[in-house]
Amino acid sequence: MPKHSLLALLMAGAVFAPAAAIAQAVPIGNPVAGAELYQYECAACHQIGEDAEHRIGPHLNRIFDRRAGSHAEFRYSEALARQGRDGLHWDFVRLDAYIENPRSLVSGTNMAYPGLEDPVERADLIAFIRAFSDQPQNIPEAAPTAFAPEVRLPPEVLAIEGDPEYGAFLSAECTTCHQRSGAHAGIPGIVGWPEEDFVVAMHAYKKRLRPHEVMQNLAQRLDDEEIAALAAYFAKLGRD
Interface with another protein (CB under 8 A), residue from 18, 57, 192, 238 = 18
Choose between 7 and 45: whose C-beta lies nearer to another protein.
7
Q: Which of 104, 107, 135, 181 binds another protein (CB under 8 A)?
A: 135
Residue 134 makes contact with another protein by CB under 8 A: yes
Name residue 26's beta-bridge partners: 147
Min dist. Cβ of residue 21 to another protein (A): 6
Rounded CA-CA distance 132/29 in Å is 15
Q: Does 186 bind another protein (CB under 8 A)?
A: no
Residues 49-108 that bind another protein (CB under 8 A): 62
Asked if residues 23 and 152 have their Cβ atoms less than 8 Å apart, the reply is yes
Does 15 bind another protein (CB under 8 A)? Our answer is no
> Phi and psi (nearest 5°) for 207?
-85, 5
Which residue, 19 or 43, is less far from another protein as judged by CB?
19
Largest pairwise CA distance in the chain: 67
For position 35 contacting another protein by CB under 8 A, the verdict is no
Q: Which of 49, 41, 8 is nearest to 26 (CA)?
A: 8
The number of residues that bind another protein (CB under 8 A) is 29
Binding to another protein by residue 216, rule CB under 8 A? no
Residue 147: strand pairing partners:
26
Q: E-strand spans in the chain?
A: 26-27, 146-147
Please, what is the minimum distance in Å from the beta carbon of residue 23 to another protein? Answer: 4
Query: What are 67's strand-pairing partners?
Result: 89
- Report the alpha-carbon distance of residue 123 to residue 153 in Å, rounded: 26
What is d(CA 240, CA 237) in angstroms, rounded to the nearest whole number? Answer: 5
**Using rule CB under 8 A, residue 141 touches another protein:** yes
Q: Is 131 in the site for another protein (CB under 8 A)?
A: no
Instruction: Report the interface residues with another protein, using CB under 8 A.
Output: 2, 18, 20-25, 27, 62, 134-149, 152, 154-155
